[in-house]
Chains A and B, each alone.
Chain A
């Protein structure tokens, strides 16, 4: 590539504009994850490992492999693992978790009881390595306590990354990812040895993990009947069109009176007015009436 003749600061941009556009569009079509022009370096950085793993010489070859190669579908899964972000932790954004515990959960449980039902359905949309759905399960257990056994509780957790899902299935975490969690809860719901914390079965069994690609609108439309949906820091990766379509599917996935939580710095203001904005202490959520 003649890197030695290129000034240092420019050495890394071996992904041509054309390759970038091809790959960006391919990723967008297949996952909804959108890399704007400003994120070219990020994409290049993430994909460089795939090039190495497949022993390819440049990004154009990688593109052809994804599009036409014999291992296409396997490589697409690896691609999804590389481009999705897995930064998460237990009790992330504590005011939101507090709002779930102190307001939203009380409200939806009350509504269910009024209808003579003891079913609770939650969805962690974009669950990454499982910290979020297990947090939701812990909050539900803390709320229902011994009444939990009388309830049919299911927390569906979906992600596009198989690697993230298998890590969620293992349910083993380090102390760092539990840093925002009260000690008592760590003690109650994890088996600890050294720096490893394993989620106890009573929590694990409330969570059902499954692969779901949000671009696959048919399968997304099967997601129905939820009291509470968490979809935090997912929409930021989508472009406007997909954001609008997906948010309207999130709306449809909720039962009346249900709540949607998005990332603490995200807003649906320019996406939809279907929900009612709810203010909780230090947190916002959206309610379907």
Chain B
């Protein structure tokens, strides 16, 4: 299969999942300078299941910094801030579109989402550790960085399975195997979807460049996600054959952050890595909240 064939095929697919219209409008609205709480809340309310999910996530242990339950969307927006609500809307809706996609054989969906959610959580903690002003977007980015893999699995199933097996047998990164067998990588495919759906630019950037953050535009955000991705793989949240060993300070994401003036050297990465070994509960609870069914392990 060649790159052009894959691209043509993707163009022609009619049942390519679409993002609910409301969500697209929310994303556009969030980027306008004079957005207000009422507009945002009004839009979310137009999609009652979405509104319910957003409220559920806002009440999940992940955000449990408030004493009382958050019982309305307006309150959630006030307490968590508009930016965070848009983050929640974006992650919940994209994940909901995909959470039941993928055929399951070869592509281990549960393992896949565990890896994605773990990457998001680690990215968020790492951003905090660096006092990076990435405003929760690193979480959304971590969650959705590998979205292209689902498309490949759903629409180019046998080739994707072949690439997956090739990467395990040859101990090489999956994207190298994809490039060899499909002529295109999950990063490019995911990026095309991000463009088609009008996802925010930072997300497209993370999806396309999480393996080479030095090429990114939103450099710190992409670098943080790239490191979180590695740490998730080194911990319990490897997906597929992608277990690896690496020297963090030699990674381009690390160097990008260092060059930007982040004090990466001051972070006790040993402690950080050890503490990230315990993200399991958070991963489970996030997946349960968003997908509505339990993440039995």
Q: Residues on A close to B: CB < 8 A?
A: 99, 103, 265-270, 273, 276-282, 284, 287
State whether B268 touches A279 (Cβ < 8 A).
no
Cα–Cα distance between A287 and B245 once the two chains are bound (Å): 12
Closest-by-CB residue of A relative to B242 is A281
Distance (whole angstroms) from the CB of B114 to the closest CB of chain A: 15
Q: B interface, how many residues as a size bin? A: 20 to 34
Binds A, one of B87-95, B203-211, B270-278: B270-278
State whether A278 touches B247 (Cβ < 8 A).
yes
Check B121 for interface membership: any CB of A closer than 8 A: no
Which residues 239-264 of B have a CB within 8 angstroms of A? 243-250
Residues A280 and B234 in contact in the complex (CB < 8 Å), given A99-B245, A103-B245: yes
State whether B244 touches A281 (Cβ < 8 A).
yes
Residues of A within 8 A of B270 (CB): 266-269, 277, 284
Out of A267, A279, A287, name the residue touching B234 (CB < 8 Å).
A279
Distance (whole angstroms) from the CB of B228 to the closest CB of chain A: 12
Check B238 for interface membership: any CB of A closer than 8 A: yes
Check B97 for interface membership: any CB of A closer than 8 A: no
Closest-by-CB residue of A relative to B273 is A284
Distance (whole angstroms) from the CB of B236 to the closest CB of chain A: 7
Main secondary structure of the interface of B (DSSP, over half): helix
Residues of B within 8 A of A103 (CB): 245
Check B269 for interface membership: any CB of A closer than 8 A: yes
Out of A266, A268, A279, name the residue touching B246 (CB < 8 Å).
A279
Cα–Cα distance between A270 and B271 once the two chains are bound (Å): 11
Residues A281 and B273 in contact in the complex (CB < 8 Å), given A267-B268, A270-B268, A276-B249: no
Residues of B within 8 A of A268 (CB): 270
Residues of A within 8 A of B235 (CB): 281-282
Cα–Cα distance between A265 and B275 once the two chains are bound (Å): 10
Check B118 for interface membership: any CB of A closer than 8 A: no
Residues of A within 8 A of B268 (CB): 267, 269-270
A-B CB contact pairs (8 Å), 13 listed: A99-B245, A103-B245, A267-B271, A268-B270, A277-B249, A277-B269, A278-B245, A279-B246, A279-B273, A280-B245, A281-B233, A282-B277, A284-B270
State whether B230 touches A276 (Cβ < 8 A).
no
State whether A282 touches B265 (Cβ < 8 A).
no
State whether A281 touches B245 (Cβ < 8 A).
yes
State whether A282 touches B245 (Cβ < 8 A).
no
State whether B274 touches A273 (Cβ < 8 A).
no
Cα–Cα distance between A287 and B269 once the two chains are bound (Å): 15
Other than the given A103-B245, A266-B270, 8 more pairs (CB < 8 A) read A265-B274, A267-B270, A268-B270, A277-B249, A281-B244, A282-B235, A282-B236, A284-B273
Cα–Cα distance between A273 and B249 once the two chains are bound (Å): 11
Distance (whole angstroms) from the CB of B133 to the closest CB of chain A: 25
Closest-by-CB residue of A relative to B246 is A279
Check B231 for interface membership: any CB of A closer than 8 A: yes
Distance (whole angstroms) from the CB of A235 to the closest CB of chain B: 12
Distance (whole angstroms) from the CB of A164 to the closest CB of chain B: 28
Closest-by-CB residue of A relative to B243 is A281
Cα–Cα distance between A266 and B230 once the two chains are bound (Å): 21
Residues of A within 8 A of B233 (CB): 281
Closest-by-CB residue of A relative to B266 is A269
Closest-by-CB residue of B relative to A283 is B234
State whether A279 touches B230 (Cβ < 8 A).
yes
Residues of B within 8 A of A269 (CB): 268-271
In the complex, which of the residues A265, A266, A284, A287 has the most CB atoms of chain B within 10 Å of its own CB atom?
A284
State whether B246 touches A278 (Cβ < 8 A).
yes
Cα–Cα distance between A282 and B236 once the two chains are bound (Å): 7
